[in-house]
Amino acid sequence: MAKNQCPTPHIGAQYGEIAKTVIMAGDPLRAKLMAERFLENPVQINNVRGMLGFTGDYKGKKVSVMGHGMGIPSIGIYSYELFNFYDVDTIIRVGSAGSIHKDLNLGDLAIAMGSCHNSNYACQYELPGVYAPIASFDLVRKAADSCEKFGYHYRVGNVFSSDSFYTENAHNDKWINMGVLCVEMEAPSLYMNAARAGKQALVICTISDNILTGEAMSAEARQTSFTHMMDVAFSII
């Protein structure tokens, strides 16, 4: 598919309808929430496969929000098309994660500086070694500064991104020993797509459950505290 040949197989927007900065969430309804909460005059630009997307204005800047589905392959498809066909420059994912770090509690934020993973996504590049997917440092620094400004408790570091939600052998203790913060399911392909396209990406997660203690947020708590990562994402664009 040629560059700028839009719509794509998975995104129904025309070229130019998606902003240079896109904030994404796994749940398309969370994208709808962001559009309603943060954007002025939001216009729906995608509903292919129910993956809602909207473009509007945030403090005078054109911004898009969109769902990306669950898992490394799903966000890999959407972020690839956004970077390569719609000329998006920056994608920030806001999502949930399970803590495996003693200093990350329910409602805290994890800024994914890097992503350990068990995915084969990098195999397509045929690299002569093991690739380490990392975020844009500029976005990491801005996100950390924003958390300080808002007074949100956060940690910056490695996350573990898994291809499996239900697994018989999680080996969380081994990741804990390496100082990994939490478990999520999307960062590597987003970071690799951004690197390959020469673009910027960042993942900010809210701790929705604690794998070490078994604690988990209620549905009501998710609705209130999940907006903290959105506050940070919008503040750094």
Q: Give the tens place of pLDDT for each residue, 123-153.
A: 999 999 999 999 999 999 999 999 999 999 9
Q: pLDDT digit string (tens) for 156-190?
A: 999 999 999 898 877 789 999 999 999 999 999 99
- 13 is a domain residue: no
Q: What confidence category does residue 98 fall into, taking pLDDT thresholds of 50, 70 and 90?
A: very high
Over residues 59-81, the mean pLDDT reads 98
Is it the case that residue 223 has pLDDT exceeding 70? no
Show the tokens assigned to 148: 């300080």
Q: Is residue 55 part of a domain?
A: yes
- Greatest CA span in the chain, whole angstroms? 49
Q: Strand pairing of 21-25 and 154-161?
A: unpaired
pTM over 0.85: yes
Say how many domains are in the chain: 1
pLDDT band at 236 (very low <50, low <70, confident <90, very high): very high
Query: For position 9, what pLDDT does the model report?
Result: 95
Considering the chain, what percentage of its residues have pLDDT values greater than 90? Answer: 89
Examine residue 141 and state whether it is found in any structural domain, yes or no. Answer: yes
pLDDT reading at 224 higher than 90: no
The pLDDT value recorded for residue 3 is 59
CATH code of the domain covering residue 35: 3.40.50.1580
Cite the DSSP H helix spans in 69-217: 72-85, 137-150, 172-177, 187-197
**Which amino acid, 92?**
I
In a domain, 14, yes or no: no
CB 55 within 8 A of CB 18: yes
Task: Write out the residue range of the structural domain in which residue 35 sits.
Answer: 21-235
The DSSP annotation for 206-229 comes to EEEEETTT--B--HHHHHHHTHHH
Structural domain includes residue 16: no
Residue 180 located in a structural domain = yes
Return the active site residues: 209
Asked if residue 99 is part of any domain, the answer here is yes
